């Protein structure tokens, strides 16, 4: 589930190479709202000629206990100026924002920074150094998003990095960025929301009654079953060479289904469930009419008393 | 080299001008570039002649709302609870903190476009100058975020209705926006997401409620004058979601399969970030129905507690009134007796009671009414779903 364009890199979990005792993180999980937020900041940047082509900002989130996994939950943009000779980042702004955001009660702390340009240069190293100072003793992570909408499909890769010192002298600009895999993470309750957003435009209204989702799921399931049927028929008639993997998978799935289908138990379960659901339905209608009545009565009482 | 490192110090000026709560027309002027672009001139509604007819939510705001609803938040500070004799009994329903936040955007041509949002800490009741919202907005203004609050979002588990705190915040937004009935409330019902359903609705204050909000009083007289019940408190608005291009590109990468061929089917997890899920087909009725029943019962408990409070306060007011009238009558009789005897009279007690018990605000009651109704409706919906599944 990597967000990056597919790479053949293998990520090894090695003991720390620097003098610090902490290992760099090996996995970065990102909430989708963070990526959407970064893209929005990018599209809102001022379009004057002397402005830099990228925006930067701070990432907030939490770390796992051993520092291996970093969960990015929120972000905000930080104004910065960048040109040929120097780069300037508005630090009081960031500190002010951190203070304000700390009041919301969510347990988030600063974990790194992001930039919307895929290249890493000396300025990145400087900013990384500054942010490492903010997140110490933990190493800070850096996310880059490539905002070029390339027709070859390479754009919008989200890459994660950590930095290590490099070179003979201990200067802040000398560091190497090591890639870290990035993965989208969302809670189960947000699943329906994400499904809604990824359906074809125009997006349907978000307050969906439950039945259309049910019918959509049924439709998908029946499509998949049709596909399987077609495949099996083709293999039987000899048109397609059978793939043992597929066969084993299908067998396993079917086997699981037939073992759980107990005939009599289901029948009884349905009947009892039916009674319960009908009772609940009646109760809810009762409650609703009571509430409406009480609302009207409250108005009436006052009118009678006056 | 050292000058580059030294240049990291903030060279941007930190001068923040406090404009307090600016009027909407001036906000529009500040936000747009120096003059209105040609296409916007007919559309920007400076005199606020048109009512808001529908709400367009940005997918960024949508995702942020979802994220906020899954945060683990501390319970709200005590000053937000309704001041009454006893605290309401702790129920499973009230143990989930509601998530509130401010919506930022602009209304154009009758459509309220919501561009951004931020979360509010628990315990905020106003959006005036020097509040959390104001300070955050001054920061956001520097990164070209639209800075006019247009409404409130609420993510709650209580059946998809507004809460008292959110209505108070909504009236604060209305006041800040000039009181023309443009503040909107977007409610996300988090209790339904266990069943895989999504429920996000947009409302604005109903006509009667707007009057009451302007006065800031929600007692019996205003209720009857404006005919406010839980069903007329809010009027719904159609809601759509739009995505700017970059974000829709990003969203499509979530569901697109990778370009590499599937080598091992039994390797289980697909390489797609959002594989299709079949959770609506699972029949969870035995467990979820009890959840809904429990929630409805809890909200009924809270409702009866609040009703008790209001009854007590009403009785107290009646008692005080009777006592006071009695005192006045006694004083009058005394005075008449003394007049007959020719002695000096006592000063007459004024008709108005000093420091009376205040009329209870009925807002909490209305909101609880609404929540119970919402929960009951959800219960019915869940039961209906269960019926359909059994007959599949």
CA distances from residue A143 to A58, A113, B49, B275, B364 in whole angstroms, order as listed: 10, 7, 45, 25, 45
Please check whether residues A235 and A177 belong to one and the same domain. Answer: no
Binding-face residues of B in 310-329 toward A, CB within 8 A: none
A299 contacts on B by Cβ (under 8 Å)? 223-224, 227-229
For residues A39 and A55, is the Cβ–Cβ distance under 8 A?
A: no
CA separation for the pair A110, A108 (Å, rounded): 7
Question: For A45-54, A219-228, B320-329, which range has the lowest pLDDT when averaged over its residues?
Answer: A45-54
CA separation for the pair A21, A24 (Å, rounded): 10
More reliable by pLDDT, A195 or A241: A241
DSSP H or E run through B210: helix B207-215
B74 contacts on A by Cβ (under 8 Å)? 105
CA distance A19 to chain B (A): 23
Entry pTM: 0.73
CA distances from residue A227 to A223, A230, A246, B264 in whole angstroms, order as listed: 6, 5, 12, 18
Please check whether residues A171 and A48 belong to one and the same domain. Answer: yes
pLDDT mean over A88-108: 79
- B17 Cβ neighbours under 8 A, 6+ residues apart: none
End-to-end Cα, chain B, rounded Å: 73
Whether residue A65 is contained in a domain is answered as yes
For testing the chain A interface, which of B8, B248, B359 should be mutated: the one with the most A CBs within 10 Å?
Answer: B8
The ipTM, to two decimals, is 0.75
Please check whether residues A178 and A233 belong to one and the same domain. Answer: no
Please check whether residues A111 and A178 belong to one and the same domain. Answer: yes
For residues A122 and A173, is the Cβ–Cβ distance under 8 A?
A: yes
Number of domains composing chain A:
2
Whether B233 contacts chain A with CB within 8 A: no
State residue A202's pLDDT score.
47
DSSP H or E run through B334: helix B285-341
Whether residue A10 is contained in a domain is answered as no
CA separation for the pair B154, B166 (Å, rounded): 7
State residue B13's pLDDT score.
32
Per DSSP, helices labelled H in B128-191 are 132-141, 164-176
CA distances from residue B284 to A277, B147, B194, B266 in whole angstroms, order as listed: 12, 44, 10, 28
In this structure, what token pair is assigned to residue B155? Answer: 């993510």
The sign of the dihedral angle between the CA atoms of A25, A28, A34, A40 is positive
CA separation for the pair B66, A75 (Å, rounded): 15
Please check whether residues A142 and A43 belong to one and the same domain. Answer: yes
In this structure, what token pair is assigned to residue A97? Answer: 């924002």
DSSP H or E run through A220: helix A210-236
Tell me how many degrees the CA angle B87-B91-B97 measures, rounded to the nearest 5. Answer: 85
| 8 Å CB contact of A103 and B132 | yes
In this structure, what token pair is assigned to residue A203? Answer: 């997006």
In this structure, what token pair is assigned to residue A42? Answer: 């990018």
In this structure, what token pair is assigned to residue B318? Answer: 């009646």
Q: What is the pLDDT along chain B (392 residues), one digit of tens a residue?
A: 444 433 433 333 332 333 333 333 333 333 333 444 544 544 455 555 567 788 888 888 888 888 887 776 666 655 445 555 555 565 655 556 677 888 888 877 778 888 888 888 766 666 665 677 778 888 888 777 777 888 888 887 766 677 777 777 777 777 776 656 678 888 887 766 655 566 777 887 777 777 777 776 666 666 667 767 766 777 888 887 777 766 666 666 665 544 333 333 333 334 455 555 555 555 555 566 677 777 777 777 777 877 787 788 888 888 888 888 888 888 888 888 888 887 777 777 666 666 666 666 667 677 777 777 777 777 777 777 766 666 66
Whether B300 contacts chain A with CB within 8 A: yes
CA distance B121 to chain A (A): 4
Whether residue A281 is contained in a domain is answered as no
Strand ranges, E, within chain A: 27-30, 56-63, 69-78, 80-82, 87-89, 109-115, 141-145, 158-165, 175-180, 182-184
- Nearest-CA residue of chain A relative to B202? A207
Please check whether residues A229 and A176 belong to one and the same domain. Answer: no
State residue B23's pLDDT score.
36
Tell me how many degrees the CA angle A240-A243-A245 measures, rounded to the nearest 5. Answer: 155
Helical axes A91-101 vs B132-141, angle rounded to 10°? 150
| 8 Å CB contact of B385 and A273 | no
Whether residue A7 is contained in a domain is answered as no
Q: In the sheet that B149-156 helps form, which strands lie side by side, from edge to edge?
A: B234-237, B200-205, B184-189, B149-156, B99-108, B111-119, B54-58, B239-242
CA separation for the pair A92, A87 (Å, rounded): 16
| 8 Å CB contact of A221 and B389 | no
For residues B291 and B272, is the Cβ–Cβ distance under 8 A?
A: no
Strand ranges, E, within A121-275: 141-145, 158-165, 175-180, 182-184
Total CB pairs under 8 A between chain A and B: 320
| 8 Å CB contact of A214 and B245 | no
Domain ranges of chain B: 49-77+87-248, 282-391
Query: Is B123 strand, coil or helix?
Result: coil
State residue A262's pLDDT score.
46
State residue B30's pLDDT score.
37
Binding-face residues of B in 111-150 toward A, CB within 8 A: 116, 119-122, 132, 135-136, 139, 142-145
Which own/partner pairs from B330-337 qualify as long-range (CB within 8 Å, at least 24 positions apart)? none
B7 contacts on A by Cβ (under 8 Å)? 86-88
A229-267: pLDDT as tens digits: 888 888 788 777 777 777 787 777 777 666 555 444 455
Residue where the block lists tokens 């009571």 = A290
For testing the chain B interface, which of A4, A6, A30, A36 should be mutated: the one with the most B CBs within 10 Å?
Answer: A36
Give the distance, in angstroms, between the CA of residue A137 and the centroid of all CA atoms in the same chain.
26
| 8 Å CB contact of A284 and B265 | no
State residue A55's pLDDT score.
79
Percent of chain A past pLDDT 70, that is, above it, reads 63
Query: Is A306 strand, coil or helix?
Result: coil
A265-287: pLDDT as tens digits: 455 555 666 777 777 778 878 87
Domain encompassing residue A243: 224-258
Strand ranges, E, within chain B: 54-58, 99-108, 111-119, 149-156, 184-189, 200-205, 234-237, 239-242
Whether residue A15 is contained in a domain is answered as no
Whether residue A302 is contained in a domain is answered as no
Mean pLDDT of chain A: 71
B240 contacts on A by Cβ (under 8 Å)? 202-203, 205
Whether A302 contacts chain B with CB within 8 A: yes
- DSSP label at residue B46: T
CB-neighbour burial class of residue A128 (10 A; exposed 0-12, middle 13-18, buried 19+)? buried
Residue where the block lists tokens 């009057």 = B211
Binding-face residues of A in 99-158 toward B, CB within 8 A: 100, 103-107, 126-127, 130, 147, 149, 153, 155-156
In this structure, what token pair is assigned to residue A25? Answer: 């993180």
Q: Which of A39, A91, A207 has its CB closest to that of B247?
A: A39
Third-level CATH fold of B49-77+87-248: Cytidine Deaminase; domain 2 (3.40.140)
Please check whether residues A105 and A160 belong to one and the same domain. Answer: yes
Please check whether residues A180 and A231 belong to one and the same domain. Answer: no
CA separation for the pair A70, A182 (Å, rounded): 10
State residue B274's pLDDT score.
53
Tell me how many degrees the CA angle B214-B216-B217 measures, rounded to the nearest 5. Answer: 125
CB-neighbour burial class of residue B108 (10 A; exposed 0-12, middle 13-18, buried 19+)? middle
- B128 Cβ neighbours under 8 A, 6+ residues apart: B20, B21, B134, B172, B176
Query: Is B220 strand, coil or helix?
Result: helix
CA separation for the pair B226, B205 (Å, rounded): 12
Give the distance, in angstroms, between the CA of residue B290 and the centroid of all CA atoms in the same chain.
27
* A122 preceded by a cis bond (ω within 30 of 0): no
Binding-face residues of A in 168-227 toward B, CB within 8 A: 171-173, 184, 186-198, 201-203, 205-211, 213-214, 216-218, 220-221
Whether residue A271 is contained in a domain is answered as no
In this structure, what token pair is assigned to residue B2? Answer: 């050292």
Whether residue A74 is contained in a domain is answered as yes
């Amino acid at each position: 589930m990597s967000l990056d364009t597919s790479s053949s890199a293998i990520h090894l979990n090695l003991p720390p190479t620097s003098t610090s005792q902490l290992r760099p993180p090996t996995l970065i999980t990102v909430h989708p709202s963070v990526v959407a937020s970064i893209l929005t900041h990018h599209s809102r940047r001022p379009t004057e000629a002397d402005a830099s082509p990228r925006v930067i900002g701070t990432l907030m989130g939490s770390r796992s206990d051993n520092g291996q996994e970093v969960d990015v939950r929120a972000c905000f943009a930080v104004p910065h100026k960048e040109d040929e000779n120097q780069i300037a980042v508005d630090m009081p702004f960031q500190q002010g924002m951190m203070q304000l955001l700390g009041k919301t009660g969510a347990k988030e702390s600063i974990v790194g920074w992001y930039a919307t340009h895929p290249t890493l240069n000396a300025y990145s190293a400087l900013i990384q150094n500054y942010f490492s100072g903010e997140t110490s003793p933990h190493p800070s992570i850096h996310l880059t998003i490539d905002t070029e909408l390339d027709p070859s499909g390479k754009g919008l890769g989200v890459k994660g990095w950590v930095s290590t010192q490099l070179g003979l002298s201990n200067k802040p600009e000398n560091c190497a960025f090591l890639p870290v895999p990035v993965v989208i993470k969302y809670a189960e309750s947000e699943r329906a929301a994400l499904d809604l957003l990824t359906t074809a435009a125009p997006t349907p209204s978000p307050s969906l009654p439950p039945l259309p989702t049910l019918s959509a799921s049924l439709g998908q399931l029946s499509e998949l079953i049709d596909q399987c049927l077609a495949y099996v028929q083709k293999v039987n008639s000899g048109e397609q060479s059978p793939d043992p993997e597929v066969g084993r998978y299908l067998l396993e799935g079917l086997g699981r289904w037939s073992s759980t289908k107990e005939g009599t138990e289901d029948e009884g379960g349905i009947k009892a469930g039916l009674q319960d659901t009908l009772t609940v339905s009646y109760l809810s209608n009762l409650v609703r009419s009571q509430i409406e009545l009480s609302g009207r009565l409250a108005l009436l009482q006052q009118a009678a008393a006056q | 080299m050292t000058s580059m490192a030294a240049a990291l110090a903030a060279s941007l000026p930190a001068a923040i001008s406090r404009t307090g709560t600016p009027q909407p027309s001036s906000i529009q002027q500040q936000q747009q570039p120096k003059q209105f672009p040609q296409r916007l001139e007919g559309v920007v509604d400076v005199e606020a002649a048109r009512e808001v007819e529908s709400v367009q939510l940005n997918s960024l705001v949508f995702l942020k709302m979802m994220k906020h609803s899954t945060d683990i938040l501390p319970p709200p500070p005590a000053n937000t609870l309704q001041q009454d004799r006893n605290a309401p009994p702790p129920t499973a329903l009230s143990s989930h903190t509601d998530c509130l936040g401010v919506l930022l955007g602009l209304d154009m041509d009758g459509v309220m476009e919501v561009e951004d949002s931020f979360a509010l800490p628990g315990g905020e009741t106003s959006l005036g100058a020097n509040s959390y919202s104001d300070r955050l907005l001054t920061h956001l203004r520097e990164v070209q975020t639209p800075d006019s609050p247009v409404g409130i979002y609420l993510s709650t588990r209580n059946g998809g209705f507004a809460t008292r705190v959110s209505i108070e915040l909504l009236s604060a937004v209305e006041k800040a926006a000039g009181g023309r009935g443009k503040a909107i409330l977007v409610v996300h019902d988090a209790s339904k997401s266990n069943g895989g359903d999504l429920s996000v609705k947009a409302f604005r204050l109903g006509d009667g409620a707007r009057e009451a909000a302007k006065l800031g009083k929600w007692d019996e007289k205003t209720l009857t004058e404006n005919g406010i019940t839980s069903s007329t408190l809010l009027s719904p608005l159609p809601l759509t979601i739009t995505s700017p291009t970059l974000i829709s590109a990003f969203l499509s990468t979530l569901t697109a399969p990778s370009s590499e061929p599937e080598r091992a089917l039994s390797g289980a997890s697909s390489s797609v970030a959002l594989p299709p899920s079949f959770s609506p087909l699972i029949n969870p009725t035995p467990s979820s129905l009890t959840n809904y029943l429990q929630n409805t019962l809890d909200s009924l408990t809270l409702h009866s507690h609040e009703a008790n409070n209001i009854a007590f306060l009403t009785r107290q007011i009646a008692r005080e009134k009777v006592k006071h009238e009695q005192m006045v009558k006694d004083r009058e009789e005394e005075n008449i007796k003394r007049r007959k005897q020719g002695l000096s009279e006592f000063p007459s007690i004024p008709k108005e009671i000093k420091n009376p018990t205040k009329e209870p605000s009925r807002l909490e009651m209305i909101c609880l009414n609404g929540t119970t109704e919402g929960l009951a409706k959800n219960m019915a919906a869940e039961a209906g779903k269960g019926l359909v599944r059994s007959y599949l």
